[in-house]
Amino acid sequence: HLLIVAQDLTEHADNEEKLVFLEHHDVLTGLPNRREFEHRLSQILDRDLAGAGPHALCYVDVDQFKLVNDTCGHEAGDELLQQIAVLFESKMRGTEIIARLGGDEFGALLLNCAAEEATRICDGFMQTVRSFLFTSRDQSFDVAVSIGLVEFTVDSEGASSILSKADVACEMAKRHGRDRIHVYHEGDTELVRHHGDMRLVSTISRALSDGRFRLYAQPIVPIAAG
How far the first Cα of the chain sits from its last, in Å, is 108
Q: Which residues contact 212 (CB under 8 A, 6 or more apart)?
A: none
46 is catalytic: no
Strand residues in 14-157 grouped as ranges (E): 55-62, 97-102, 105-110, 133-136, 139-142, 145-152
d(CA 62, CA 146): 7
Q: Which residues of 202-218 are buried (b: 16+ CB within 10 A; e: fewer)?
A: eeeeeeeeeeeeeeeee
Residue in 26, 104, 167, 179 annotated catalytic:
104
> How far is 55 from 139, CA to CA, in rounded Å?
40
As beta bridge partners, residue 146 has: 61
Residues noted as catalytic: 104
